[in-house]
Amino acid sequence: MKRIFLFVATNIAVIAVMSIVLSLLGVNRFLTASGLNLPMLLVFSLVVGFTGSIFSLLISKPMAKWSTGARVIDTPSTSTELWLVNTVRGLAERAQIGMPEVAIFPGDPNAFATGAFKNSAMVAVSTGLLESMNKEEIEAVLGHEIAHIANGDMVTMTLIQGVVNTFVVFLSRVVGYVVDRAISRDGEGGGIGYFVTVMVCQIVFGIGASMIVAWFSRHREFRADAGSATLLGNPQPMMHALERLGGVHAADLPQSMSALGINHTGGGFLGLFATHPPIDVRIAALRDLK
């Protein structure tokens, strides 16, 4: 529930800031004396919906380094770091993408890929993952992250987030206008009923939107697992890596990075917000590739 609260609170804060900025620019003048100006509202919703998502994508690499304490390997200083860089280089060449930055961050087993562009991305693994897996399993995890980059998953998720944000902003204001017109004495709209309804709707619609984004995120994990199997020529290493992850405590990444990790699942109702499918389901999907 803490993740859900933080997600909702973050989205409300972003929308509030963007609304203030757009108000100063005069882009939010969709409430008129003659009613709701839908084209202007759509423009407002698109700007609010996509600006935050695109900005987050563009700063994803430096934010990832800062939030996880990741250290980029500029010059390998150990045999493990040299093997790690060479393995990522080989996988990147097979996936036909540019060589990503390779980083190590402290913590329990986990890994992630991030970056706005395929040819200038970053792959990071935790110290716990390097210590708990053998080289074949680590290579499978790296293949999974390289597949995310090759599939353009970061850009895809940004676009999906932007679309659902746009619908949240647009629909919440339409509903707010309708409710306010129904309860307002003067019938002009834009009163307290409008603002309260918009706030409530943004929370409710925002939770629903996060479920949609999480569903797409779970779907892309299956593709990345299959991509790892293709890059390695065998699904077995990825299956072994997932089995290993299932038996250890995976590191909790910062909220903004959780969808980029190798494993972030939830059960029951919270499973609807999980960015990754259950490990046993992922293993079964890989088994079907044989």
List, by residue number, the catalytic residues.
145
DSSP letter assigned to residue 119: G
132 token code pair: 């708990």
Q: Which residues pair with 114 in a beta bridge?
A: 122
Q: Which residues pair with 112 in a beta bridge?
A: 124, 261
| Residue given tokens 């990444």 in the structure block | 253
From residue 32, alpha-carbon distances to 28, 38, 172, 178, 233 in Å are 10, 10, 17, 14, 61
Rounded to whole angstroms, the Cα distance separating 82 from 229 reads: 23
Rounded to whole angstroms, the Cα distance separating 111 from 130 reads: 10
Rounded to whole angstroms, the Cα distance separating 227 from 146 reads: 8
Bin 262: left if φ > 0, else alpha if -120 < ψ < 50, else beta. alpha
Pinpoint the alpha helices (H) of the chain. 2-25, 38-58, 60-68, 79-95, 127-132, 135-150, 153-183, 192-232, 236-246, 279-287
Contact, 19 vs 28, CB < 8 A?
yes
DSSP-based three-state secondary structure for 144: helix
211 token code pair: 């479920």
Contact, 70 vs 105, CB < 8 A?
yes
26 token code pair: 């005069």
